[in-house]
Protein backbone atom coordinates (compact mmCIF):
# COMPACT_ATOMS: atom_id res chain seq x y z
CA UNK A 1 0.00 0.00 0.00
CA UNK A 2 1.23 3.48 -0.84
CA UNK A 3 2.08 5.63 2.11
CA UNK A 4 3.75 8.99 2.73
CA UNK A 5 7.23 8.55 4.20
CA UNK A 6 9.64 11.17 5.43
CA UNK A 7 13.34 10.89 4.78
CA UNK A 8 16.54 12.76 5.52
CA UNK A 9 20.31 12.61 5.30
CA UNK A 10 22.32 11.90 8.45
CA UNK A 11 22.78 15.51 9.61
CA UNK A 12 19.19 16.44 8.76
CA UNK A 13 20.00 19.25 6.32
CA UNK A 14 18.24 17.40 3.48
CA UNK A 15 14.64 16.43 4.13
CA UNK A 16 12.06 15.01 1.79
CA UNK A 17 8.74 13.24 1.71
CA UNK A 18 7.65 10.59 -0.74
CA UNK A 19 4.53 8.59 -1.44
CA UNK A 20 5.92 5.07 -1.74
CA UNK A 21 4.81 1.47 -1.78
CA UNK A 22 7.10 -0.79 0.25
CA UNK A 23 4.47 -3.47 0.79
CA UNK A 24 5.01 -7.10 -0.16
CA UNK A 25 3.16 -8.74 -3.03
CA UNK A 26 -0.54 -9.13 -2.32
CA UNK A 27 -0.69 -5.87 -0.34
CA UNK A 28 0.51 -3.52 -3.04
CA UNK A 29 -1.23 -0.54 -4.64
CA UNK A 30 -1.66 -0.17 -8.37
CA UNK A 31 1.84 0.67 -9.74
CA UNK A 32 2.38 4.33 -10.69
CA UNK A 33 3.56 3.43 -14.20
CA UNK A 34 3.97 0.29 -16.34
CA UNK A 35 7.14 -1.76 -15.91
CA UNK A 36 8.85 -3.67 -13.11
CA UNK A 37 10.50 -0.52 -11.71
CA UNK A 38 7.22 0.51 -10.13
CA UNK A 39 6.56 -2.85 -8.49
CA UNK A 40 9.42 -3.46 -6.09
CA UNK A 41 12.51 -2.11 -4.42
CA UNK A 42 15.91 -2.73 -6.00
CA UNK A 43 19.40 -3.65 -4.90
CA UNK A 44 22.25 -3.69 -7.34
CA UNK A 45 25.90 -4.71 -7.49
CA UNK A 46 27.09 -1.96 -9.87
CA UNK A 47 30.14 0.08 -8.91
CA UNK A 48 28.01 2.93 -7.59
CA UNK A 49 25.19 1.11 -5.76
CA UNK A 50 27.61 -1.31 -4.14
CA UNK A 51 29.91 1.35 -2.73
CA UNK A 52 27.11 3.60 -1.51
CA UNK A 53 24.92 0.67 -0.34
CA UNK A 54 22.12 2.24 -2.34
CA UNK A 55 18.77 0.44 -1.88
CA UNK A 56 16.30 2.12 -4.14
CA UNK A 57 12.61 2.49 -4.66
CA UNK A 58 11.32 4.57 -7.56
CA UNK A 59 8.92 7.49 -7.29
CA UNK A 60 7.34 9.76 -9.88
CA UNK A 61 7.99 13.51 -9.49
CA UNK A 62 4.38 13.85 -8.26
CA UNK A 63 5.18 11.47 -5.41
CA UNK A 64 8.38 13.19 -4.27
CA UNK A 65 8.84 16.49 -2.42
CA UNK A 66 12.14 17.99 -1.36
CA UNK A 67 11.26 19.72 1.91
CA UNK A 68 14.62 21.29 2.72
CA UNK A 69 18.30 21.26 1.93
CA UNK A 70 18.35 22.16 -1.76
CA UNK A 71 21.42 24.33 -1.04
CA UNK A 72 23.11 21.42 0.78
CA UNK A 73 22.90 19.03 -2.16
CA UNK A 74 25.94 18.26 -4.21
CA UNK A 75 25.64 16.21 -7.33
CA UNK A 76 27.66 13.42 -8.87
CA UNK A 77 27.27 12.06 -12.39
CA UNK A 78 29.30 9.34 -14.06
CA UNK A 79 29.27 7.11 -17.14
CA UNK A 80 26.57 8.41 -19.48
CA UNK A 81 26.00 11.18 -16.87
CA UNK A 82 22.26 10.69 -17.23
CA UNK A 83 21.60 9.98 -13.57
CA UNK A 84 21.88 12.80 -11.05
CA UNK A 85 23.13 11.29 -7.79
CA UNK A 86 22.84 13.75 -4.94
CA UNK A 87 24.74 13.80 -1.67
CA UNK A 88 24.63 15.98 1.41
CA UNK A 89 27.61 18.34 1.39
CA UNK A 90 27.94 18.04 5.15
CA UNK A 91 27.31 14.40 6.08
CA UNK A 92 27.86 12.66 2.73
CA UNK A 93 24.66 10.62 2.80
CA UNK A 94 23.13 9.78 -0.61
CA UNK A 95 19.37 10.16 -0.06
CA UNK A 96 18.18 10.01 -3.67
CA UNK A 97 18.99 10.18 -7.36
CA UNK A 98 16.94 11.37 -10.30
CA UNK A 99 16.87 10.87 -14.05
CA UNK A 100 14.61 10.93 -17.06
CA UNK A 101 14.39 7.64 -18.96
CA UNK A 102 11.78 7.07 -21.63
CA UNK A 103 11.65 3.34 -20.87
CA UNK A 104 10.64 4.16 -17.28
CA UNK A 105 7.95 6.60 -18.36
CA UNK A 106 9.93 9.86 -18.05
CA UNK A 107 11.30 11.72 -15.09
CA UNK A 108 11.65 9.85 -11.82
CA UNK A 109 13.38 9.76 -8.46
CA UNK A 110 15.23 6.78 -7.02
CA UNK A 111 14.99 7.05 -3.28
CA UNK A 112 17.41 5.41 -0.90
CA UNK A 113 15.03 3.49 1.36
CA UNK A 114 17.41 3.48 4.30
CA UNK A 115 17.06 7.27 4.48
CA UNK A 116 13.34 6.97 5.32
CA UNK A 117 13.02 7.95 8.98
CA UNK A 118 9.52 6.63 9.47
CA UNK A 119 9.77 3.28 7.68
CA UNK A 120 9.72 0.59 10.36
CA UNK A 121 12.14 -2.30 10.55
CA UNK A 122 9.24 -4.58 9.70
CA UNK A 123 8.39 -2.58 6.57
CA UNK A 124 12.03 -2.70 5.44
CA UNK A 125 12.31 -6.40 6.20
CA UNK A 126 9.13 -7.23 4.25
CA UNK A 127 9.71 -4.96 1.24
CA UNK A 128 9.96 -6.87 -2.04
CA UNK A 129 13.46 -6.74 -3.56
CA UNK A 130 14.57 -7.23 -7.14
CA UNK A 131 18.33 -7.76 -7.49
CA UNK A 132 20.10 -6.29 -10.50
CA UNK A 133 23.43 -7.46 -11.91
CA UNK A 134 24.58 -3.94 -12.71
CA UNK A 135 28.23 -4.98 -12.53
CA UNK A 136 27.71 -6.97 -15.73
CA UNK A 137 25.22 -4.53 -17.28
CA UNK A 138 22.59 -7.23 -16.90
CA UNK A 139 19.99 -5.09 -15.17
CA UNK A 140 17.21 -7.58 -15.82
CA UNK A 141 19.07 -10.44 -14.13
CA UNK A 142 19.96 -11.14 -10.53
CA UNK A 143 23.66 -11.52 -9.76
CA UNK A 144 24.87 -14.96 -8.80
CA UNK A 145 25.33 -13.83 -5.20
CA UNK A 146 22.94 -11.40 -3.56
CA UNK A 147 23.34 -11.92 0.17
CA UNK A 148 26.02 -9.24 0.55
CA UNK A 149 24.04 -6.56 -1.28
ZN1 LIG B 1 23.50 15.78 5.79
Which residue, 125, 112, 130, 18, is CA-closest to 65? 18
Is the distance from CB of 83 to CB of 77 less than 8 angstroms?
yes
pLDDT over threshold 90, residue 80: no
Span 104-124, pLDDT tens digits: 999 999 999 999 999 999 999
- Per-residue pLDDT, averaged over 83-105, amounts to 97
Which is more confidently placed, 138 or 13? 13
Mean per-residue pLDDT, 42-51: 93
The pLDDT value recorded for residue 127 is 97
Indicate the length of the chain as a whole number.
149
Q: Structural domains in the chain?
A: 2-134 (2.170.150.70)
What pTM was estimated for this model as a whole?
0.94
Ligand 1 centroid, distance to 94 Cα (angstroms):
9
The per-residue pLDDT for 79 is 83
CA 41/CA 19 separation, integer angstroms: 14
Among candidate residues 59, 52, 54, 73, the one with its CA nearest the CA of residue 21: 59
Ligand 1 centroid, distance to 27 Cα (angstroms):
33
How far, in Å, is the centroid of ligand 1 from the Cα of 10?
A: 5
Amino acid sequence: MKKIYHGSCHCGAIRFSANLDLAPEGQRSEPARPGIWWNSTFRCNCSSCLKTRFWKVFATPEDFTLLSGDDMLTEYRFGSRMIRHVFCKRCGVHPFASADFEIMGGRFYAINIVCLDDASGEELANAPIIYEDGRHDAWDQAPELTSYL
